[in-house]
C-alpha cells in the first residue's frame, strides 16, 4: 500500500539511501596524506648554515622531535615507538629490500648502526630550515661534475606538495597502500622536490626535480650559503635553508609562513655503500624515507604533512601528562590506535 499510494517513494528512498552512504563515506575520518606529521616552530635567531648543528635552537627542537620523528629502518620497533607510521609491510617496496619493506625503498639495511637519521625543522620570516644528523657506516663524497648530477650520492631529498592538494585515500590503521595511492596521484605544477648532496669534494650541491637537471641556481650556489654538511664520527650532519621565495614558482604566489599552514612533505635519504665511489644499487646501497616507503618522487599522495607553528622554539611546550609527549605527537599517538 505504501508504494502504491506514493509511486515516487521508491526513487526518493533510493536517493536518500545513496545520499546517506555518500555522506557517511565523506565523514569517515581520513589521514592527511600518509600519516606523518611534523610541526616546524619559529626561531627568533637565524640559523648559521655550516653543518655543525650547534645552535641552541636545534638542540631544543631535537629534544622534542627524537625519537618519534627519527628516520629508522623499522619505525615500529618498540625502542622507536612510532605508532603513527601507517605504511603496510611491502606496500611499495622495491626489489632487494629489507623483509617487509617498511621505510626502505630499496637496498638492505642492517639496523640503526647501518642507518638512522635524526632530523628537525625550523623557520623564520626568510627561510625554512632543516637539520640532519645521519648515522651511516659508510659515507662517500660526491666527486663528479656539479653542473649536472652524474652518478650516485649520499644525499637528502626534500619533497613538497606546496598547495597540500594531493588526493587523500582512506585506509584502516597501518594499512596505507603506497602502490594504490601512487597509481592515483601524480606530481602537478605545485609539487616539487630538491636533491641535496651535503658531502662533495667541492663543498655542497643541490639539484632540482629532474635527475638530469642542472645545479639549482639558488640552492646550489655555495656562495649563497644555503646548504652545508660535515662528516662526523658516526656518519654526517647537514643543514639546509630554503628561502620562502623559492616555492613561489610552484605555489603560484608568495608562500608566506602563517600559523596553521600545512604543506605536503616527505624526506628520502639515499645511502651509497661499498668501496669508493660507492654504489646505490640494491642490495648494497639503498634509500629510506620518513613518512612513506616508496614512490614519493612520483606521487604527492604518499607524502606526510609539515605544519607551520608560530610558537617559538625553546618556549614552553605543552605536554601530555599521560605519556610525556609534546602535544602534537601525543595527538598522533592517540589518533592511530
| Amino acid 323: pLDDT | 41
For 81, residues 6+ apart whose C-beta sits below 8 A from its C-beta are 67, 68
Q: In terms of Cα–Cα distance, which of 121, 148, 128 is closest to 36?
A: 121
For residue 276, what are the β-bridge partners?
none
d(CA 329, CA 22): 32
Other C-beta atoms closer than 10 Å to the C-beta of 22 total: 10
Instruction: Report how far Cα 146 is from the mean position of its chain's Cα atoms.
Output: 25
* pTM score: 0.83
d(CA 32, CA 83): 16
| Amino acid 46: pLDDT | 97
| The Cα angle at residue 65 between residues 139 and 321, in degrees rounded to 5 | 150
Q: Strand 115-123 vs strand 37-42: parallel, antiparallel, or unpaired?
A: parallel
The residues spanned by each domain of the chain are 33-335
CA distances (Å), origin 174, targets 95, 99, 128, 220, 294:
22, 17, 30, 38, 15
Does the CA dihedral 272-274-278-282 come out positive or negative? negative
Least confident of 19-28, 120-129, 224-233: 19-28
Q: For residue 177, is pLDDT > 90?
A: no
d(CA 273, CA 270): 10
pLDDT band at 31 (very low <50, low <70, confident <90, very high): very low
* SS3 assignment, position 59: helix
* SS3 assignment, position 64: helix
* SS3 assignment, position 331: helix
| Amino acid 335: pLDDT | 38
Q: For residue 1, is pLDDT > 60?
A: no
Instruction: Find the helix or strand (DSSP H, E) in which 262 lies.
Output: strand 262-271
Residues above pLDDT 70, as percent of the chain:
79
Model pLDDT for residues 292-330, shown as the tens digit of each residue: 887 899 899 999 999 999 999 986 544 333 343 333 333
* Higher pLDDT among residues 172 and 25, named by residue: 172
| Amino acid 17: pLDDT | 43
d(CA 235, CA 215): 25
Q: In terms of Cα–Cα distance, which of 49, 43, 69, 119 is closest to 308?
A: 43
CATH fold of 33-335 reads: Immunoglobulin-like (2.60.40)
Q: In terms of Cα–Cα distance, which of 173, 168, 218 is closest to 192?
A: 218
| Amino acid 320: pLDDT | 39
What beta strand segments (E) does 201-261 contain?
203-207, 227-231, 235-243
Secondary structure of 111-160 as H, E, C letters: CCCCEEEEEEEEECCCEEEEEEEEEECCCCCECCCCCECCCCCCEEEEEE
Q: What is the residue-averaged pLDDT of the chain? A: 80
Other C-beta atoms closer than 10 Å to the C-beta of 279 total: 16
Q: For residue 117, is pLDDT > 50?
A: yes
d(CA 133, CA 136): 10
Mean pLDDT of 84-91: 76
Mean pLDDT of 177-183: 83
| Amino acid 183: pLDDT | 84
Q: Judge contact between 229 and 53, C-beta under 8 A.
A: no
Q: For residue 141, is pLDDT > 80?
A: yes
Amino acid at each position: 500500500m505504501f508504494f502504491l499510494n506514493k509511486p515516487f517513494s521508491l526513487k526518493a528512498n533510493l536517493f536518500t539511501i545513496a545520499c546517506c552512504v555518500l555522506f557517511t563515506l565523506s565523514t569517515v575520518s581520513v589521514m592527511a596524506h600518509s600519516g606523518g606529521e611534523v610541526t616546524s616552530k619559529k626561531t627568533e635567531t637565524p640559523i648559521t648554515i655550516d653543518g655543525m648543528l650547534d645552535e641552541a635552537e636545534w638542540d631544543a627542537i631535537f629534544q622534542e622531535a627524537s625519537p618519534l620523528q627519527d628516520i629508522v629502518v623499522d619505525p615500529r620497533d618498540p625502542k622507536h615507538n612510532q605508532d603513527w607510521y601507517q605504511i603496510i609491510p611491502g606496500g611499495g617496496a622495491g626489489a632487494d629490500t629489507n623483509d617487509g619493506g617498511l621505510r626502505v625503498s630499496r637496498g638492505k639495511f642492517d639496523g640503526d648502526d647501518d642507518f638512522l637519521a635524526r632530523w628537525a625543522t625550523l623557520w623564520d620570516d626568510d627561510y625554512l630550515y632543516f637539520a640532519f644528523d645521519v648515522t651511516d657506516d659508510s659515507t662517500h663524497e660526491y666527486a663528479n661534475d656539479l653542473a649536472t648530477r652524474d652518478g650516485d650520492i649520499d644525499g637528502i631529498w626534500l619533497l613538497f606538495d606546496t598547495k597540500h592538494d594531493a588526493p587523500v585515500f582512506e585506509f584502516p590503521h597501518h594499512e596505507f597502500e603506497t602502490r594504490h595511492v601512487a597509481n592515483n596521484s601524480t606530481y602537478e605544477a605545485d609539487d616539487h622536490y630538491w636533491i641535496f648532496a651535503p658531502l662533495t669534494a667541492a663543498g655542497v650541491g643541490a639539484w632540482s626535480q629532474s635527475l638530469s637537471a642542472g645545479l639549482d641556481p639558488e640552492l646550489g650556489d655555495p656562495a649563497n650559503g644555503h646548504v652545508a654538511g660535515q662528516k662526523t664520527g658516526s656518519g654526517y650532519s647537514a643543514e639546509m635553508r630554503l628561502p620562502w621565495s623559492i616555492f613561489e614558482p610552484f605555489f603560484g604566489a608568495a608562500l608566506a609562513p602563517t600559523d596553521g599552514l600545512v604543506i605536503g612533505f616527505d624526506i628520502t635519504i639515499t645511502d651509497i655503500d661499498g668501496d669508493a665511489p660507492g654504489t646505490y644499487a640494491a642490495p648494497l646501497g639503498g634509500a629510506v624515507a620518513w613518512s612513506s616507503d616508496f614512490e614519493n618522487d612520483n606521487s604527492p599522495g604518499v607524502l606526510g604533512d609539515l605544519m607551520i607553528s608560530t610558537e617559538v622554539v625553546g618556549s614552553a611546550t605543552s605536554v601530555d601528562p599521560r605519556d610525556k609527549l609534546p602535544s602534537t605527537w601525543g595527538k598522533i599517538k592517540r589518533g592511530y590506535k
